[in-house]
Chains A and B, each alone.
Chain A
Amino acid sequence: MALDSKIPNGPIADKWTNYKDHINLVNPANKRNLDIIVVGTGLAGGSAAATLAELGYNVKAFCFQDSPRRAHSIAAQGGINAAKNYKGDGDSVYRLFYDTVKGGDYRAREANVHRLAEVSANIIDQCVAQGVPLAREYGGLLDNRSFGGTLVSRTFYAQGQTGQQLLLGAYSAMNRQIGRGKIKMYNRHEMLELVVVDGKARGIIARNLITGEIERHSAHAVVIGSGGYGNVFFLSTNAMGSNATAAWKIHKKGAFFANPCYTQIHPTCIPVSGDHQSKLTLMSESLRNDGRIWVPAKLEDAQAIREGRKKATDIAEADRDYFLERRYPAFGNLVPRDVASRAAKERCDAGFGVNKTGEAVYLDFAAAIERYGKEAAHVKGLNENDKTLVTKLGTDIVKSKYGNLFQMYLKIVDEDPYVTPMMIYPAVHYTMGGTWVDYNLMTTIPGCFSIGESNFSDHGANRLGASALMQGLADGYFVLPYTIGDYLAPDIKMGPISTDLPEFVEAEKSVKDLINNFISNNGTHSVDYFHKKLGKIMWNKVGMARNAKGLAEAMEEIAALREEFYKDVKVPGSANEFNQELEKAIRVADFLELGELFAKDALHRNESCGGHFREEYQTEEGEALRDDDNFAYVAAWEYKGKPSDAVLHKEPLNYENIKLVQRSYK
C-alpha cells in the first residue's frame, strides 16, 4: 500500500485556505444523521467533540477517567504558542512555522506545520472568548513569555497551569453540548477494540470500568485523541492511566504507526529518588526563562556534593559550569529540549552530577532573584545594595511567576528552591511519534482519524515547548471539523449502523477472550512487576542515547518479557466488576508490543535527529548528526502479527520552503 499524504497543491501559505474552499461539506440537516465517536477528552479529543457537536453531528465521547476534565492535558504547565506578534518582536506565521520545523530537526511535514502556525492565533481568540483566564499585564492586555528554541516571546500562559485552564475551556464547550444532548458522554469507559466494516471504521468495543460490561458502539467515523505512549517507559511525566491502547488497537486493525522512536525526554524534571517511585514530575520549561542550569566545574566539588560534604551554595561562582550558556551562547538556557537533555546527561555521565544517584544538575534562581529584586528596589526608590531587601523583593517576584511550581518542588523534595537551587534531570515526557495520518488527519483506515499527541504529524523528531497545547486544540477546534466533513459527505443517507453486524460480534468476542485469559491466568507476578521491567529495558537501551547493539538486545528482551507476561501475570478479581489491575494488564500488554516496535524503529533509523540520538551518529562536538540523503522520510510501520515483523512504508519529506541545514543554537 502506497502512502498518500494528500497534501494540497499550491503555495504553502494558500494550501489550507484553498483546500477548505473546495472540500465537500455536509449540510446542517444531514449532520443530524451522522454519528461520530471520539475517544479521549484531552485538548484534542475534548475540543473535537465540542466542535463536532456544535456543527450538528451526534457525538459519543469516551474517557477512562471519572470526568473528561481530568485528561492529562490538564497537567501541561508552561504555555501555548501563537503567532500573534503582540510583543512586536518580529513574530509571524512564517517564523512560527520555521521555528517548529527547525525545532523538529527537519522531520515534520511542512504543509501540516504551516497550517498549525496559521490557525494558532485563532486558538487564543477562541479561548479568551470562552472565558479562559490567560495571564494579563497591568494594561489589561495578554502577557507573553519565552520558550526554548525561539528568539521571540510568543507563549501565552496561565501561571504554571496553562494546560488546566485550556482543558477546562474545552471541557466547558463540551458541557454546553452535553447539556444540549448533542454529546453523549461515557466516563470511566475504555476503548478496547476498533470495529471495521467493509474496510471502514464503523465503531468501537468499550469496557464500562465500573461494571465491567463490554459494550458495542457504532458510528460513521471514529476519532482517536487518546494521547501519547510515554508510559511505555513506566516512569514518565504522564499520568498513571495514560496509555496507548486505543492507538495500538487501531494499529493492529490496519492504521500505520509512524516514527515511534521520536520521544521527547524533557530536561527539567524532578530526579528519581528510589525504587518505589511511581511517576516523575515535570518542572515547567518556563523556569528556564529565569533559571540558570549548572554543575560544579571541578570533579572534586561534584563528589563532595554527592557525599553531602558540600552544598550548592558553597561552590564559588568561578567554580560553576553553566554548561548550556557555555556551549550555546545564542540560546543559552533556552535551547530546545532534546539539546538541553543531552547536555545534562553528558555532564552527569562525565561525573559532574549533583545528587546521591549522580543523575541531577542544578537549576538556579539566585541570579534572577537578585536581578528582579534590584529592579523592584529601583522602582520603589529603595536601596539597591541592601542584599536582604533585594532578596526579599526578588523572591516575591519569582513567587508570582512560578509559585505553584516551587511549592510542588518543596512538597516532593523537601528543600526550598528559593534558597537552594533545584535539582533536575531529564525524564520521558512526550511522544512525537504516533499513528500516521494524512493531511486530513485520517489514518490508513478510512473513517478512523487520529488527533493531538496520538498522531505523528506536526513535531517531527522533537517538539518545541508550548507547541503540544497548540497542536491539540488546532486539530480539534479548527482542522478535523473541516476534514471529517469531506469524508462523511458520501454517508449522509446511510442511516444508523447496526451493532448486530458480524464485525461487532467478532470484535466483542476478541475483547472478552483477552479479558478472560487475564482473569484465569493465575500467574505469580503483578502487572506492575512486568511494567517496571519493560520500563528499565526502555530507559537503559532505548532512552536518551541509543546504539545498534543495545537496540537489538532490547527487541529480544521485550519479546521475551512479553511471552513471560502472558504466561505469568496475575490479575486478581473478576471481569465483571471495577478492577484496576485488569485495566492495567490490558494497557501493559499493548506497551509490551509497542516497546518492541519502538526499538525496531530506532534501530532502523541510522542517524540522529531530535529526540532520537544514536551514539554512532554524532558530530565531533557531540551534536545530533542527521542523514538527510537517506532518512528524510516518515517511517510508517504496518502491523503484521509481531512487532518484529512490522513492514516499513516511507513517506518522503519534501522541503520546498525551508532549507535543510544542520540545526544550530550556538
Chain B
Amino acid sequence: MKLTLKIWRQKNAQDKGGIVDYPIDGIEPDMSFLEMLDVLNEQLINKGEEPVAFDHDCREGICGMCSLFINGEAHGPDRGVTTCQLHMRMFKDGDTIFIEPFRAKAFPVIKDLVVDRSSFDRIQHAGGFISVNTSGNTIDANTIPVPKVDADKSFDAAACIGCGACVATCKNSSAMLFVGAKVSQYALLPQGKVEATERVLNMVHQMDLEGFGNCTNTGACEVECPKGISLENIARMNREYLAASLKG
C-alpha cells in the first residue's frame, strides 16, 4: 500500500506545532497501525530526521498507553479497538491519513503525538479506591456473596483502560465516562458502598479542578470507547452524586 500521512509534529509543550506530510510506500495490510509508524520512523532515522514520538506499550489493547486521533476519530476508524489493535487492512491503497494527538485542555501535548494524561491519575488519587489496608487480615473472600449481575456490571465498568479516548472525542472534553466507570465499579459492590458518598464527591471535584468539560449527553464517548464502557455509568454517577449532595 502507498499512503500519504499527515502527522502533527510539535517539538515540546511550548512549541506551536503543525501538520507535516510524509509519503510512505510498501505498507502491508497485516501490519498494525503502530507497526506502520515503526516503518516510517525507521525510514526517518535512516534519513537523519527525527522520528515521530508516540505513546505505546503493550500493543495488545490493554495498557491504555497508546492514543492518536486518526482521521478525526480517537483510535481510528475501527470499533472496539485501541490504536495498537487497528490494522492497515482498514485503509485503502492511496489513502491520506491524518494523525493527531488526543486534544483536551486537561491533556497537554508533551511532544508530537504524546500527551500528558496525569489528570486521570489525580482524579483517582482523590477517591478511586476502597480504604482497606493490604494486611491480608480481611474476611474470607466468600463471606459476602455478590449477585453475579452486579459483579459482572462492576467488571464491565472496571474494564476501562484509562486511555482518554472519551475525553478526546467529546466536544466538551468531558471525562464523565471515565469517572463514571470508576465510581460505578465501586458503587456496584458491597465493599464500595461504605465510602460511596465521599468517593463520588471527591472524584467529581477533582475532575472539575483538572479542567474537563461537562457532559451534554451526545454519547460520542461510548461510541469511540475501545472497551465499550456504557453511558449507563455516567447516569449511575449522576445518581450517586445527587444522593451524595443531598446527604452532604
A contact residues vs B (CB 8 Å cutoff):
47, 50-51, 54, 65-70, 72, 74-75, 84, 86, 119, 122-142, 158-159, 161, 164-165, 168, 171-173, 175-176, 178-179, 185, 187, 210, 239-241, 273-274, 276-279, 281-282, 407-408, 411-412, 414, 477-478, 526, 528, 570, 572-573, 577-578, 580-581
CA distance in complex: A54, B147 (Å)? 31
**Known contacts A72-B63, A172-B129; is-contact A159 B155 (Cβ 8 Å):** yes
Task: Judge if B192 is at the interface, Cβ distance under 8 Å.
Answer: yes
Q: List 7 A-B contacts (CB under 8 A).
A: A67-B162, A70-B65, A172-B128, A276-B28, A278-B34, A578-B111, A581-B45
Q: A165-B155, A581-B45 are in contact. Are A408 and B61 (CB under 8 A)?
A: yes
Name B148's contact: one of A67, A122, A136, A179 (CB within 8 Å).
Answer: A136
A283 to chain B, nearest CB (A): 10
Among A47, A70, A159: residue with most chain B CB under 10 A: A70
Q: How far is the CA of A129 from the CA of B190 in the complex (A)?
A: 10
A122 pairs with B62, CB closer than 8 A: no
Partner among B51, B59, B145 whose Cβ is within 8 Å of the Cβ of A140: B145
Interface of chain B: mostly helix, strand, loop or mixed: loop
Cα–Cα distance between A241 and B55 once the two chains are bound (Å): 10
A185 to B148, CA, bound (A): 36
- B139 shortest CB reach to chain A, Å: 7
Shortest C-beta distance, A88 to chain B (Å), equals 13
The listed residue (A136, A168, A179) touching B151 by CB distance below 8 A is A136
Asked if B48 is at the interface (CB within 8 A of a chain A CB), the reply is: yes
User: How far, in Å, is B140 (CB) from chain A's closest CB?
Assistant: 6
Q: Are A141 and B130 within 8 A (Cβ)?
A: no
Residue numbers in A under 8 Å from B133 (CB-CB): 54
Pick the interface stretch among B78-86, B166-174, B215-223.
Answer: B78-86
**When the two chains form their complex, are residues A129 and B130 in contact, meaning their CB atoms are under 8 A apart?**
yes
Q: Which of B42, B134, B189 counts the most A-chain CB atoms under 10 A from its CB?
A: B134
Say whether B197 faces chain A, with CB atoms less than 8 Å apart: no
B80 adjacent to A478 (CB under 8 Å): no
C-alpha gap A52/B154 in the complex (Å): 28
Question: Which residues from chain B contact A133 at a C-beta distance below 8 Å?
Answer: 151-152, 154-155, 158, 185, 189
Chain B residue total in the interface (Cβ 8 A): 78
What distance in Å separates the Cβ of A474 from its nearest Cβ neighbour in chain B? Answer: 10
- Bound Cα distance from A142 to B145, whole angstroms: 8
Instruction: Pick the contact of A412: B87, B117, B136 (CB < 8 A).
Output: B87
Q: What are the residues of chain B within 8 A of A119 when measuring CB–CB?
A: 136
Chain B residues in 8 Å Cβ range of A127: 141
Name the distance in Å between B196's Cβ and chain A's nearest Cβ.
Answer: 11
Residues on the A chain within 8 Å of B28, using CB? 274, 276
- Complex Cα–Cα for A137 and B80 (A): 27
Residue numbers in B under 8 Å from A168 (CB-CB)? 158
Please report the C-alpha to C-alpha distance between residue A241 and residue B65 in the assembled complex, in whole angstroms. Answer: 11
CA A165 – CA B158 in complex, angstroms? Answer: 7
How far, in Å, is A180 (CB) from chain B's closest CB? 9
User: Is A572 a contact of B121 with CB atoms below 8 Å?
Assistant: no
Select one of A138, A176, A570 contacting B45, CB under 8 A: A570
CB distance from B122 to the nearest CB of A (A): 9
Q: Which chain A positions have C-beta within 8 A of B50?
A: 572-573
Chain A residue numbers with a CB within 8 Å of B31 are 274, 276
Per the bound structure, the CA–CA distance linking A144 and B45 in Å amounts to 49
Contacts of A68 in B (CB 8 A): 121
A278 in contact with B38 (CB, 8 Å): yes
Residues of the B chain whose Cβ atoms lie less than 8 Å from the Cβ of A158: 155, 158
Known: A54-B133, A175-B124, A408-B60. A125 touches B138 (CB 8 A): yes
Q: Ordered nearest first, which 8 A-B pairs have the shortest CB separation?
A: A140-B145, A122-B136, A172-B129, A133-B155, A129-B138, A128-B141, A179-B125, A133-B154
User: B25 contacts the other chain (Cβ, under 8 Å)?
Assistant: no
Flag if A125 contacts B140 (CB, 8 Å).
Answer: yes
